[in-house]
Amino acid sequence: MLDRRPAVSWFEIHSENYFADGGPPLATLERIRADYPVAMHGVGLSLGSTDPLDREHLRKLKRLADRVDPALVSEHLCWSSVDGRHFNDLLPLPYNEDALDHVCARVSAVQDHLGRTIAVENVSSYYAFPESTVPEYAFVAAVAARTGAKLLVDVNNIYVNARNHGIDPAAYLAAIAPASVAEIHLAGFDASGPIVIDTHGAPVAPEVWSLYERAIARFGPVPTLIEWDTDIPAFDVLLREAATAQRVLDEHAIVAA
């Protein structure tokens, strides 16, 4: 990969995969960082958990951010642990005032600790709490508005949740302030069962590409990442997917004077 010097504009890493004290992954990352911008994308901070923030996890996140000087640090709007037990998965939040207060306090605490603005990502979900009182998109937009955090808008997750919970994807996009959007994710899903599952193991679906075009029309040419981390295909297949996203971005790019 490094020897090919692919013509991509940036790389994104799973933060936790570089939490080690040393070793080859960190050395490879430093080689990449010398030539490309890098974004850090965490999956394990358990931002929405009501357990105390994991100080050791935060310490390693900050150590990595200080080392990499990333273009962006992002985490998921979800929770993963309760009463000290971790599920290592992106579990759904209820969307109500109680949860909003809690999540906003946590986002602010993390931003204070890291000394930087983070981005939070909307997650795909299969379960909707009956205790939710506001639509998911209102919750997501409110977190950004209250904390100053940026949003990592996962367009596939919007589509998956629209299918699973009957959300209007157009209303979702309309609720999000364009200025808050720092990055976009795209991915493939599996709709073979009763629930649409976000697998990151398939090409981006045509419906998601068209939702992506609407997102870019509203948000502008936002840096976009295709997530494909199970059943990973040949690198050329990934590059073709990325090229499709680039075409959409180019169509909406502001031409410099």
Binding residues vs other proteins (CB under 8 A): 16-17, 19-25, 27, 42-46, 49-50, 54, 56-57, 60, 79-89, 91-92, 94, 98-99, 102, 126-129, 131, 194-195, 197
Nearer to other proteins by Cβ, of 71 and 197: the residue is 197
Nearer to other proteins by Cβ, of 99 and 248: the residue is 99
The minimum distance between CB 175 and other proteins, in angstroms, equals: 22
DSSP annotation of 240 reads H
The minimum distance between CB 168 and other proteins, in angstroms, equals: 20
Nearer to other proteins by Cβ, of 33 and 57: the residue is 57
The minimum distance between CB 60 and other proteins, in angstroms, equals: 8
DSSP annotation of 195 reads S
The minimum distance between CB 124 and other proteins, in angstroms, equals: 10
Q: How far apart are CA 74 and CA 41, in angstroms?
A: 5
- Least Cα distance to 245 among 231, 230, 226 occurs for 226
Q: Which residue has the tokens 């295909």?
A: 233
Residue 186 tokens read as 């795209």
Residue 97 tokens read as 């005032």
Nearer to other proteins by Cβ, of 68 and 173: the residue is 68
Query: 79 - beta bridge partners?
Result: 91
Nearer to other proteins by Cβ, of 89 and 251: the residue is 89
Query: 76 - beta bridge partners?
Result: 121
Residue 185 tokens read as 């994710």
The minimum distance between CB 117 and other proteins, in angstroms, equals: 21
The minimum distance between CB 185 and other proteins, in angstroms, equals: 18
By CB atoms closer than 10 A (0-12, 13-18, 19+), residue 7 is exposed
Provide the sign of the torsion angle of the four alpha carbons 80, 85, 87, 92, taken in this order: negative
Whether 198 contacts 186, CB under 8 Å: no
Nearer to other proteins by Cβ, of 114 and 239: the residue is 114
Q: How far apart are CA 206 and CA 14, in angstroms?
A: 26
The minimum distance between CB 179 and other proteins, in angstroms, equals: 29
Nearer to other proteins by Cβ, of 197 and 239: the residue is 197
Residue 87 tokens read as 């599920």
